A and B are shown apart, each in its own frame.
Chain A
Amino acid sequence: MMMIVAIVALGALAGASGLLLGFAAIRFKIEGDPVVERIDALLPQTQCGQCGYVGCRSYAEAIAAGEADINQCPPGGQGGVAALADLLGRDPKPLDPDLGPEKPKMVAVIDEQSCIGCTLCIQACPVDAILGAAKHMHTVIARECTGCELCLAPCPVDCIHMQPISPTITTWKWVYPAAEARAAA
């Protein structure tokens, strides 16, 4: 008799717990992964693919899934690595040198004299920052250009070159002390 009471009592307790957890699983269901959004927000959105993923979004998903490391984004630079490390609670590490050096922010410029209007660079641009039509001169919308350099390779006449953006009075940012940058590295 005692044994049956014990079995029933524990069974009821376990059953009630199971129901509670089942309810909680439905009530607190996760749609999507909000961490991906926050990682994506930190990435520079150049969509350059230097990290080995098709774009910033898929790199963010790979970081969140633990497949990619946080030091694979040269456009984001050391500051970007530090920001990712801070967000994810990991230790910052130096940028992966195999993926290219950290460059200043640049914008693509088309030499309009030599452009033959082949539209190849338009197809390569991940952010639709190149305007033009077949057999017509193309141009880059500088405000939209992320400086990803993906349009350089397909150009048959090599009329696109990268120009560093010199800081203007509205875009200039305070330069961090060197000691702080070294500590982050």
Chain B
Amino acid sequence: MNEYVLILISTILVNNYVLVKFLGLCPFMGVSRKLETAMGMGLATTFVLTLSSICAYLTDHYLLVPLGLEYLRTIAFILVIAVVVQFTEMVVHKSSPLLYQTLGIYLPLITTNCAVLAAALLNVQAQHGFIASALYGFGAAIGFSLVMVLFAAMRERIVVADVPTHFRGPAITLVTAGLMSLAFMGFAGLVRG
């Protein structure tokens, strides 16, 4: 039990995917302009990351390892992730057309979100079990969503702030992201190991 709580805290705060491991920066910069899109992207990524972590674990544990095909991990995981994303896209399109339109191109782009592949590969590296894998993916996604929402809220304020001309646009966004990353470094050492 304790181990699972540690996994969650570690992935959400200490080893945050976006700000500490610098994974998934493309949607972090691209979809964080509005709070609602950021939330939608966070939700979609949470769903995909958790599901793909589970599927990748199952594929690895029941297909690749027994057949001695560990060297095919990356390509098999990419296949699994692409299927999960495609499936999510269909479900979202059916159940929430507005969310589908809001996410737009970013929903299929989750396929190439390196955070998703990283979660699957890091799970194998850390030799996580089934539940631990699912929690690791879920925690990573929650951390991603948390940072997305915080960052979107900040960007909405920056838009109306009086920023010096040369810092406007992507410059101030990247500066803010860097400061936020610094702040998240403060969590390092919160959990040992």
Contacts and interface: CB of A to CB of B under 8 A. Distances in A.
Interface string B52-77: 00000001000110011100100110
Interface in A36-94: 38, 87-89
Contact of A35 (B67, B68, B98): B98
Interface string B32-66: 00101100000000000000000000010001100
Q: Is the interface of A mostly helix, strand, loop or mixed?
A: helix
B134 to A, nearest CB: 19
Contact of A17 (B36, B69, B72, B83): B83
B93 A30 contact: yes
Interface residues of B, number: 25
A89 B69 contact: no
B127 interface: no
A14 interface: yes
Interface in A1-26: 2, 5-6, 9-10, 13-14, 17, 20-21, 24-25
A52 to B, nearest CB: 23
Contacts of B34: 89
21 contacts: A6-B72, A9-B69, A10-B69, A10-B79, A13-B59, A13-B76, A14-B79, A17-B79, A17-B80, A20-B87, A21-B90, A24-B86, A24-B90, A28-B93, A30-B93, A30-B94, A33-B97, A34-B97, A89-B37, A89-B98, A89-B102
Interface of B: 34, 36-37, 59, 63-64, 67-69, 72, 75-76, 79-80, 83, 86-87, 90-91, 93-94, 97-98, 101-102
